[in-house]
Amino acid sequence: MSKPVVALVGRPNVGKSTLFNRIAQKRIAIVEDTPGVTRDRIYSTAEWLDHQFHIIDTGGIEIEAEDEILMQIKHQAELAIDEADVIIFVVDGKTGVTEADKEVANLLYRAKKPIVLAVNKIDNIKMQEEIYEFYSLGFGEPYPVSGVHMIGLGDLLDAVVSHFPPQEEEPKDEDVIRVALIGRPNVGKSSLVNAILGEERVIVSNVAGTTRDAIDTPFSTQNQDYILVDTAGMRKRGKVYETTEKYSVLRALKAIDDADVVLVVLDGHAGVIEQDKRIAGYAHEAGKASIFVVNKWDIVEKDDKTMTQFVKKIRDEFQFMAYAPIVFVSAKTKQRVQKILPIVDEVAEAHSMRVATSVLNDVIADAVVMTPPPSDKGKRLKVKYVTQVAVKPPTFVVFVNDKELMHFSYERYLENKLREAFGFEGTPIRLIVREKEES
């Protein structure tokens, strides 16, 4: 089920990025005391009271001249209005209500979305009285918060999640493999869907951003049912959508939530860029089975080393996804497109693989004998027992005597041994280290 989307909106320098980092509990956005320093809308996932949600920091304001500020703010607010289920309107408690705040408020009145007003930089109790003038913005109770000192975030998030729709798990047909195509606009996702289907089921255009929303296409072949989800592009409306690279991520996030297998579509002609890594990273973090599909291979000038060099480039740039297979295709000429679905079947099977506990422990015991665990200050790590607790992705609990002794390099070693023994092609696997008392 897709997670709700929360957007932080406000004029420059009210502390949106600091609040974003606190809510996401990760230091993702660059924080500086300079208006407009957040150059990109940054996305993350967050959790509060058992509610998981996507959060957007709508920075992206590059100020070139004073008279452009309101125009830029308007663009950001419009994007948030389009994408979000709930909007946190962030204002600065130290400076009071400004004309720019009123401008944002005027846009948000028309949003038809729940708005929660956060008065930031209320760093101590004495400043609480500073919030009352913000009632004049017309969004009801202002919530005093301090992103820097982590004050008031609980009350703010309580208000945010109260606007989420009820969480109802949609019934899911376990026999259907749901495949999401993600990637930058114009890498050929819609053309690839058409090539896989063998017919023009999706509108294809060479203008980046043609696909308005994620499109689900069910089909069957070789006695297997699939749903293809095309997440291409963004709505194009005015100048704000011209740089569509920045704004394709959210659609991918929503599709990843519901997918079994993710096709990370790369442009073989343009090569790998930073945005590709960011989009692929979400699939990895979400624990989804993934395949790199290098499209437009027909227009790449090639010699006998070109494919090897591109594979090396992918492996270097996506070291965190070494498990993901790579296939080179051309949606236009249908070259190697027929190889995609058999690989989808393989990685979907690996993604839902269960391993018998006895076999699992035999493999780990052999691994421990081959390379004994590390020791620290005379105390050695003992791996006592391993059990699989989940699939999609395969997740294992490793019981040890002292989890502080489990170095990430040894954890990686155990993961590699599991992959050697059982394959797990195309899927991340997760190890959870827990302490087991000495008997």
Please give the Cα distance from 155 to 178 (Å, whole number).
Answer: 37
Q: Determine if residue 298 is labeled as part of a ligand binding site.
A: yes
Q: Determine if residue 11 is labeled as part of a ligand binding site.
A: yes
Dihedral sign, CA of 58, 60, 66, 72?
A: negative
Q: Determine if residue 295 is labeled as part of a ligand binding site.
A: yes
Q: Could you tell me if 431 and 388 are in contact, meaning their C-beta atoms sit under 8 angstroms apart? A: no
Q: Determine if residue 14 is labeled as part of a ligand binding site.
A: yes
User: Which residues lie closer than 8 Å to 240 by C-beta, 6 or more apart?
Assistant: 75, 78, 79
Q: Determine if residue 186 is labeled as part of a ligand binding site.
A: yes
Q: Determine if residue 190 is labeled as part of a ligand binding site.
A: yes
Q: How many Å separate Cα 367 from the centre of its chain? A: 33
Q: Determine if residue 362 is labeled as part of a ligand binding site.
A: no
Q: Determine if residue 123 is labeled as part of a ligand binding site.
A: yes
Q: Determine if residue 61 is labeled as part of a ligand binding site.
A: yes
Q: Could you tell me if 331 and 194 are in contact, meaning their C-beta atoms sit under 8 angstroms apart? A: yes
Q: Determine if residue 185 is labeled as part of a ligand binding site.
A: yes
Dihedral sign, CA of 224, 284, 235, 159?
A: positive
Backbone region of residue 10 per phi and psi (left: phi > 0; alpha: psi in -120 to 50; beta: other values):
left
Q: Determine if residue 233 is labeled as part of a ligand binding site.
A: yes
Q: Determine if residue 12 is labeled as part of a ligand binding site.
A: yes
Segment (H or E) for 46: strand 41-48
Q: Determine if residue 17 is labeled as part of a ligand binding site.
A: yes
Q: Determine if residue 208 is labeled as part of a ligand binding site.
A: no
Structure tokens of 266? 């790369």
Place of tokens 């913000």: 134
Q: Determine if residue 173 is labeled as part of a ligand binding site.
A: no
Q: Determine if residue 314 is labeled as part of a ligand binding site.
A: no
Structure tokens of 19? 């609040």
Of the candidates 60, 43, 59, 61, which has an alpha carbon nearest to the alpha carbon of residue 5?
43
Q: Determine if residue 187 is labeled as part of a ligand binding site.
A: yes
Q: Determine if residue 152 is labeled as part of a ligand binding site.
A: no
Q: Determine if residue 230 is labeled as part of a ligand binding site.
A: yes
Q: Determine if residue 122 is labeled as part of a ligand binding site.
A: yes
The total number of residues written for the chain in this structure = 439
Q: Determine if residue 188 is labeled as part of a ligand binding site.
A: yes
Which residue type is seen at 340? I
Q: Determine if residue 356 is labeled as part of a ligand binding site.
A: no
The residue ranges of DSSP E strands in 203-338, in sequence order, are 215-221, 224-230, 261-267, 289-295, 326-328
Q: Determine if residue 74 is labeled as part of a ligand binding site.
A: no
Which residue type is seen at 11? R
Please give the Cα distance from 266 to 272 (Å, whole number).
Answer: 7
Q: Determine if residue 16 is labeled as part of a ligand binding site.
A: yes
Going by the annotation, the residues of the binding site are 10-17, 57-61, 120-123, 183-190, 230-234, 295-298
Going by the annotation, the residues of the binding site for GTP are 10-17, 57-61, 120-123, 183-190, 230-234, 295-298
